[in-house]
Structure 1
Amino acid sequence: MGRKQRGRAARNARRKLPPNFESEEVKRAPHVLVFKRGVTVGNNVKELIKDMRRVMEPFTAPNLKVSRKNALKDFIAISGHFHVTHLMTFSKTQLSTYMRLIRVPRGPTLNFRIRRFTHSRDIVSALKHPQTFPKQFEYAPLLVMNGFQDDSIHIKLIATMFQNMFPSINVTNVDLSTIKRCVLLSLDPVNGFIEFRHYNIKIVPSGISRAAKKLLQGKVPDLSRFNDISDFMYREGNASESEDESTGNNDENEVILSQQLRSRGNLKANQSAIRLTEIGPRMTLELVKIEEGLCDGEVLYHTHISKTPEEITELRKRNTDKKRLKEQRKREQEENVKRKQDKKKTTQKSSSKQNDENMIESSSDNNDNDSDE
């Protein structure tokens, strides 16, 4: 049996992976790049970008470096190679902070105004029993949407955009142990705001006493006050009020497991309770407008501006003329570049020919001088 590689040898072996080492499932999964746009966005927006990268893990670039010279077309150019399907950008102006969702490579583009947001560290620090650990980010979160039943075009586009940003789940063969997190999007029908929440999912056994639950979960109880284990079992393990999980008695969050989970006590066909713990970030989004292309197409919907059919026709004509003029300038520029290259080649040929003639004349002069001597 071969010796297991450790340290530098293991790192070098990982670096020598074949070019197509990713599975087909990973390639088909949506990949999202999260970065900032603009010169300055502030430390709060930078931290929000880091939090959103944690939300979109593992199908994102958590350590993506963006410089001021990088344009949007640079990210679109590399999207095909890295299987990137969406871009999430954050920008800040004097009025507010904005989030933009872009579907690569042809759009549409959704522009949101972030009315309020809270960082993950603030939410976790306010919890009495936070549930954060690195392994919960090894799998993509589950998307839960509420209030998107409206038949409006912009509501359907928002729902479709968010659904395509997260991997789809096959209910028949999904592994329940891989569902560690969930993203909740709730639409307020009154003001049209979208509430963004991010939760950790924990499944605990229910329908049993707290003492038995402690033993199943591997928690060592304090038996110094009891004469026998039966005293501990009948007195519910002497659990304190902080350990009381009264929400588990609610029938709405209790399910019958179809699989046996890796956590202790959660057996197949047994009753378990679902616990949700918010891990952040938290955002309140307001849709501003929807563009057809990549940030430069026709405006399909605008929340605050409405145009008449005549204005829409005039705007489409103006955009068509603008695109035609842009294409014409591009062709003229290409022709100018080609003409300069041809002129340069002609000049080089003439100069090389002149040099050859000068060399022949100099050699003939040398021969004449030799003959005179």
Structure 2
Amino acid sequence: MARKKKGKAKKNNRKNARLEDVEVSKDPHTFVFARGNLGTNVQQLVMDMRKVMEPYTASNLKVRKKNILKDFVAVAGPLGVTHFVSFSKTNSGLNMRIARLPKGPTLYFKVHNYCLCKDIVSLLKKPKSSEGQYRHSPLLVLNDFKKDSDSTSKEIVNPHKLCATLLQNMFPSININKLNLNHVQRCVLFNYVADTNSIEFRHYNITVRPVGMSRRMKKLVVQSDMPNMNKCKDISDYLMNRGDGSASESELELDDPNNKVELSQKMVGKGNLKNCQSAIKLTELGPRMTLELFKIEEGMCQGEILYHSLVEKTEDEKEEIKTTREKKKQIKQMRKAQQEQNVKKKEELKTLNKKRSLLGMKRGHEDNDDEDDNARWYREEVGEEMERDVIHGNGPSRKKRKFIPHDRKQKKTTRGAKSPAHSTNQHKHNKGPRRKSFKSRK
């Protein structure tokens, strides 16, 4: 049977798949998980955050109680995971932690309020969700993150600038020349409020509608269902008549000049043509959170504290902390060196034991050869086979007596003699009373 040749389309698809894999591997990936015992609402919040970070996240990640942070770090390397988003609960409230792999930094947020996706959908009159909106990463928007630090001159780290850079690196970068507008269907907003020193997190769905048409014209062009024109003599009466009342709030948002955008590409939907004006509308998907940044660490959930909004330390205390951390590092290095030395010693002992065992095996073969030579010489000179004990030098062979246990040994008795069971002294060993004779009964 001749094999079928592969067509050009199949080869091109394989090449494109390889290119996509290389591009996807460069994009940032995240793990979203919970630490400790949390309620059902927080578990649902974790699942909602996984939806936000799709498709570059493990949506079906299973976490056990025995798992520690080192387990996630060990798995993250081969899978190409670059960020961790973990939730934990304390007596003060709910906390969120964002860490950059493998060397940090780590940002700690306090979650003041949160709202789940199901709660937001229940509040909306017309919730919208486009098909395949979670196949592509969302668009990131950072609002009012100040580049200049508001802190004192002593502080080197600008927390808000560092937070902005970390959030930017969590989502894949956008190439404007290669971007397909149909892939931009979601938006993630981080809004910094300076008065309360908090960050508002929102997640929206993006829809685009054509602008420059009346409401009745949109029904004819955009909507698939035809309107009712029984009372109109001509289509001009339907288009020119304004008897439907005022526009709704959503249409007022579309008519806002700030929402109008000129499209550079043709998008999905009727009327969304190239080089034509369209309006952007956002509908909230959820979840919703209000965060407060209170701590930044240099390493991966450990290391020097770069910023803390609640605790302030003097320079002497910082130096003491640095010295203690350096001492711990030195002790750790010493332990590693000792472990390596112990491992080397064990390996050397193994090799020595192997050599000794091989030498012993060789000597055993040599002794057997000498015994064979002695037996051959004895056979040629004497004409008989040499006994085995003589070869080994143990002297003449002797038959060993069989071992008989004490219980099996039986005494030989003559026919006339009584057996030991019928001896007169048997009543001494018996526990019961002695049997009376027939005369004593009378």
- The interval holding the TM-score normalised by the smaller chain is 0.7 to 0.9
Contact residue 82 and residue 101 of structure 2 kept, 8 A: yes
**One-letter code aligned to 1:174:** L
Change in Cα spacing, 1:133 to 1:363, as seen in structure 2 (3 Å) is farther
Counterpart selection for 2:323 from 317, 328, 351: 317
Which residue pairs with 1:121 in the alignment?
A: 118
CA distance in 2 between partners of 1:24 and 1:239 (Å): 55
SS in 2 for 1:149: coil
Q: State the Cα distance separating 1:159 from its structure 2 match.
A: 0.5
Report 1:354-369 matches (<5 A): 354=360
> What do residues 68-94 of structure 1 show as CA deviations (whole Å, max 9, x unaligned)?
444433433444433322121222223
Which residue pairs with 2:127 in the alignment?
A: 130
The gaps in structure 1 that reach 5 residues or longer are 3-13
CA distance in 2 between partners of 1:238 and 1:295 (Å): 60
Which residue pairs with 2:144 in the alignment?
A: 147
Contact residue 31 and residue 85 of structure 2 kept, 8 A: yes
Query: 2:370 aligned with 1:372, yes or no?
Result: no
Query: 2:295 aligned with 1:289, yes or no?
Result: yes
Moved more, 98-107 or 79-88: 79-88
Report 1:1-373 matches (<5 A): 20=18, 22-38=20-36, 40-152=37-149, 153-223=158-228, 225-227=230-232, 228-235=234-241, 238=244, 245-351=251-357, 353-354=359-360, 371-372=386-387
The gaps in structure 2 that reach 5 residues or longer are 5-12, 150-157, 376-383, 389-442
CA distance in 2 between partners of 1:282 and 1:343 (Å): 62
> What do residues 217-258 of structure 1 show as CA deviations (whole Å, max 9, x unaligned)?
233133264344333323359589769622222222122223
**One-letter code aligned to 1:27:** S
Contact residue 209 and residue 236 of structure 1 kept, 8 A: no
Q: State the Cα distance separating 1:172 from its structure 2 match.
A: 4.2
The higher relative CO (CA closer than 8 Å, separation ≥ 6) is in: 1
> What do residues 15-74 of structure 1 show as CA deviations (whole Å, max 9, x unaligned)?
x99994634432322222212233x22322221111111111122221222334444334
Alpha-carbon RMSD across the aligned residues, in angstroms, is: 3.0
Contact residue 108 and residue 294 of structure 2 kept, 8 A: yes
CA distance in 2 between partners of 1:248 and 1:28 (Å): 37
SS in 1 for 2:78: coil
Change in Cα spacing, 1:243 to 1:17, as seen in structure 2 (3 Å) is same
Q: State the Cα distance separating 1:161 from its structure 2 match.
A: 0.3
**Is the radius of gyration larger for structure 1 or structure 2?**
2
For this pair of structures, how many residues does the alignment match? 359
Normalised TM-score (structure 1): 0.85
**One-letter code aligned to 1:263:** G
Q: State the Cα distance separating 1:365 from its structure 2 match.
A: 6.8
Q: State the Cα distance separating 1:363 from its structure 2 match.
A: 8.1
CA distance in 1 between partners of 2:240 and 2:255 (Å): 19
Contact residue 211 and residue 237 of structure 1 kept, 8 A: no
Runs of 4 or more consecutive aligned structure 1 residues displaced over 4 Å after TM superposition: 16-21, 236-244, 351-370
CA distance in 2 between partners of 1:184 and 1:323 (Å): 40
SS in 1 for 2:112: strand
> What do residues 151-193 of structure 1 show as CA deviations (whole Å, max 9, x unaligned)?
2211110000001111222334432222111111111112211
Contact residue 139 and residue 179 of structure 1 kept, 8 A: yes
SS in 2 for 1:61: coil
Identity value in percent: 45
Moved more, 243-252 or 258-267: 243-252
> What do residues 302-352 of structure 1 show as CA deviations (whole Å, max 9, x unaligned)?
110111111111111111111111111122122223323333443454456
SS in 2 for 1:198: strand
